[in-house]
């Protein structure tokens, strides 16, 4: 979603900002802007609707220089997509220039108050209100020295707004200073001997420095005189922890691939190898997950598990529900994080909560985490991004180690989440009823998974490409799955919608005859996930029902399974695997189908319209 990169130091800010904005493109945005200047160069703002490349071309035509700057990619919330609404925003006296991620919920009231005091507005955004609020307080604080006056204006304004923010702000009266602050929207300070970076995502300054401070909610950083000071908005200066980030410098490099989605699909064997690395018990019968930070005794006392996530992560949770209930025999509930945060469902005392989030920054998932913790439940995280807000605000958890995921459509993060949940099922199962030999069989299946994933992708790529070519013009698809493969049907439908803009719906296979069958005809193809041997005959019945109504069937089945030819139009075979890893292997052809459908339909695979990688607004 919206991205921030800002810089203050000895280098030319322009190069830093354009490079940083390009790194943030994957998050999704619709317009971009920068402001650059310093004590010898006047601050100049340039904005552009559309891609960062357009902004770069625009900037190249004008002389814009300086060692201080802030840049932003905007994903419209308040006001349409236009240069007027793009960031940075400026107070009407021209003094404060800021970029803002998040939503200011009381902006309407504040705007009315400021208008009464003579402030004027040019945009439809809530962010411009914040710039003017800072200018208003600056006017009141004349007795303070300039630098302190700047910082106090920002601090008081932030205390008066309701909602969420990650901001970077410049005051023209202090041209060698920069302030940043956050509340429910990430902001990271990068520290380098020659300067400082402030970004919503550390990838925006990847390779520049490894030393970072992850600002916490209600914290503000003031960079001036070559130093930085962090303060809590209400409690004064604090001593922040400087952490070290390990950059994966290849993450933003496509290598031999055409798109990040393609790269990330084919990286899944490596990603899964990393997920399981060093995480099995010495006797080879269980998982070893120290990050949960709970003793075996505490884990045995758990009566219920609640899994929370959004979108693809919520489908991983649904798979986790089947796995934990089957192998650990603990009742599991799954709820969309966006629903849970406002619901008031009664929860058992001994409920353990897991929030699942690739980015670790999804606002709805964070809201659910806060709500679960507020109610006193132990809340753990499954996330891919080290140091993300979800990771820092949970009571412990498991990192996926899937590596940076750049494509907006989640692929390797989804299979990584399922893999972690499978390991949790194994770990909890071995503490309860699962036998030693069953545990060893589970471990062997997970150890064999990376090779199996590689083989499956190689084996089904050309088939899925051919099938995508054949069905590229169809406008509606069904995806059917039973039991542990029903969430995979949902994920297959979501992938297709996201990247190729084709309508797709998922149902449990048995539900077809309870309504959706009315829509089946020769124009509505159906994927039937028939790779679960225990459900094969039931799935063949569903296929026959569809074929009897002239519907087209694309079946996913395991090698060696006998599926009558009359039951399908097209079929893709995957290896026969242990049930706990079946959802991962069955997902692979569906990811490839979505990818090749997007190519057939000339869609922007890595940056689908209207979507953002990290959804940091409600
Ligand atoms: C996945 O393809 C989607 N882009 C989306 O559903 C995503 O999974 C969801 O927004 C949750 O993101 P998170 O895992 O970063 O929290």
400 lines ligand 1 (CB under 6 A): no
Please name the residues in contact with 556: beta carbons below 8 A apart, sequence gap of 6 or more.
527, 528, 529, 530, 531, 571, 572, 574, 586, 589, 590
Distance 183 CA to ligand 1 centre (A): 21
313 lines ligand 1 (CB under 6 A): yes
Cα separation of 276 and 225, whole Å? 46
Atom of ligand 1 nearest to the CA of 359: 15
310 lines ligand 1 (CB under 6 A): yes
Distance 359 CA to ligand 1 centre (A): 8
- Catalytic residue numbers read 2, 613
Distance 313 CA to ligand 1 centre (A): 6
Can you give the pLDDT at residue 63?
82
User: What is the tens place of the pLDDT at every residue in 14-28?
Assistant: 999 999 999 888 777
Indicate whether 248 pLDDT > 70.
Answer: no
Give Cα separations from 355 to 142, 170, 612 (angstroms): 47, 36, 20
Backbone angles phi, psi at 558, to 5 degrees: -90, 150
612 lines ligand 1 (CB under 6 A): no
Sheet architecture: strand order including 332-336: 332-336, 304-309, 351-357, 379-383, 397-399
User: What is the tens place of the pLDDT at every residue in 291-300?
Assistant: 999 999 999 9
Closest C-alpha residue for ligand 1 atom 11: 310
Cα separation of 272 and 453, whole Å? 9
Atom of ligand 1 nearest to the CA of 498: 2
Distance 411 CA to ligand 1 centre (A): 10
Closest C-alpha residue for ligand 1 atom 8: 312
Please name the residues in contact with 376: beta carbons below 8 A apart, sequence gap of 6 or more.
none
Atom of ligand 1 nearest to the CA of 312: 8
449 lines ligand 1 (CB under 6 A): no
Spell 184-207 as b/e; 16+ CB within 10 A means b.
Answer: bbbbbbbbbeebbbbbbbbbbbbe
410 lines ligand 1 (CB under 6 A): yes
Arithmetic mean of pLDDT, 347-357: 94
Q: How confident is the model at residue 206 (pLDDT cuts 50, 70, 90)?
A: confident
H-state helical runs in 50-196: 52-60, 107-116, 126-140, 146-160
Query: 73: closest CA among 49, 104, 45?
Result: 49
Can you give the pLDDT at residue 252?
66
Pocket test for ligand 1, best of 410, 412, 606 (most atoms within 8 A of CB): 410
User: What is the tens place of the pLDDT at every residue in 135-177?
Assistant: 999 999 999 999 999 999 999 999 999 999 999 999 999 999 9
496 lines ligand 1 (CB under 6 A): no
Indicate whether 250 pLDDT > 70.
Answer: no
Closest C-alpha residue for ligand 1 atom 5: 311
Arithmetic mean of pLDDT, 220-236: 96
- What does the angle CA 586 – CA 263 – CA 611 come to, to the nearest 5 degrees? 85
């Amino acid at each position: 979603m919206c991205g921030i990169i800002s810089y203050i130091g000895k280098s030319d800010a322009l190069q830093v900002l354009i490079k940083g904005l390009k790194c943030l493109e994957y998050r999704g945005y619709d317009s971009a802007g920068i402001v650059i200047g310093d004590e010898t160069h006047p601050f100049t703002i340039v904005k552009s609707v559309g891609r960062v490349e357009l902004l770069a071309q625009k900037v190249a035509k004008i002389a814009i220089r300086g060692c201080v700057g802030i840049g932003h990619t905007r994903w419209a919330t308040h006001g349409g997509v236009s240069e007027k609404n793009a960031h940075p925003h400026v107070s009407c006296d021209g003094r404060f220039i800021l970029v803002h991620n998040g939503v200011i919920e009381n902006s309407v009231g504040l705007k009315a108050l400021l208008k009464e005091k003579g402030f004027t507005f040019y945009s439809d955004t809530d962010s411009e209100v914040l710039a003017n609020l800072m200018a208003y307080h600056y006017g009141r604080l004349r007795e303070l020295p300039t630098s302190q006056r700047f910082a106090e204006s920002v601090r008081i304004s932030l205390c008066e707004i309701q909602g969420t923010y990650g901001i970077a702000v410049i005051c023209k009266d202090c041209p060698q200073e920069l302030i940043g602050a956050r509340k429910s929207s990430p902001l990271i300070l990068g520290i380098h001997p020659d300067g400082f970076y402030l970004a919503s995502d550390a990838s925006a300054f990847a390779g520049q420095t490894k030393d970072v401070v992850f600002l916490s909610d209600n914290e503000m950083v003031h960079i001036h005189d070559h130093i930085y000071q962090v303060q809590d908005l209400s409690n004064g200066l604090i001593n922040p922890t400087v952490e070290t980030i390990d950059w994966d410098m290849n993450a933003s490099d496509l290598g031999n691939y055409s798109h990040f989605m393609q790269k990330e699909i084919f990286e899944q064997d490596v990603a899964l190898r990393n997920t399981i690395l060093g995480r099995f018990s010495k006797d080879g019968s269980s998982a070893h997950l120290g990050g949960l930070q709970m003793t075996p005794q505490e884990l045995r006392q758990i009566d219920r598990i609640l899994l929370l996530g959004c979108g693809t992560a919520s489908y991983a949770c649904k798979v986790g529900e089947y796995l934990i209930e089957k192998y650990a025999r603990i009742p599991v509930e799954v709820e969309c994080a966006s629903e849970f945060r406002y619901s008031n469902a009664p929860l058992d005392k001994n409920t353990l909560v897991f929030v699942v989030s690739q980015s670790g920054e999804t606002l709805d998932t964070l809201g659910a985490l806060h709500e679960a913790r507020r109610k006193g439940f132990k809340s753990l995280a499954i996330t891919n991004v080290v140091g993300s807000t979800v990771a820092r605000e949970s009571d412990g958890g498991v990192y996926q180690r899937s590596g940076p995921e750049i494509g907006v459509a989640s692929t390797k993060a989804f299979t990584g989440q399922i893999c972690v949940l499978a390991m949790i099922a194994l770990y909890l199962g071995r503490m309860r009823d699962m036998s030693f030999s069953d545990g060893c069989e589970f471990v062997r299946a997970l150890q064999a998974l990376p090779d199996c994933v590689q083989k499956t992708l190689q084996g089904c790529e050309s088939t899925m490409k051919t099938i995508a070519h054949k069905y590229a013009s169809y406008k509606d698809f069904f995806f059917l799955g039973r039991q542990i493969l029903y969430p995979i049907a949902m994920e297959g439908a979501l992938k297709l919608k996201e990247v190729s803009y084709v309508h797709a719906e998922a149902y449990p296979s048995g539900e077809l005859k309870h309504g959706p069958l009315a829509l089946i005809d020769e124009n509505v193809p159906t994927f039937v996930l028939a790779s679960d041997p225990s459900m094969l005959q039931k799935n063949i019945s569903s296929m026959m029902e569809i074929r009897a109504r002239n519907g087209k069937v694309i079946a996913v089945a395991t090698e060696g399974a006998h599926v009558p030819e009359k039951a399908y139009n097209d079929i893709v075979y995957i290896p026969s695997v242990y049930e706990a890893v079946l959802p991962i292997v069955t997902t692979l052809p569906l990811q490839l189908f979505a990818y090749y459908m997007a190519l057939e339909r000339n869609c922007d695979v890595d940056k689908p319209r209207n979507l953002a990688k990290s959804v940091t607004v409600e």
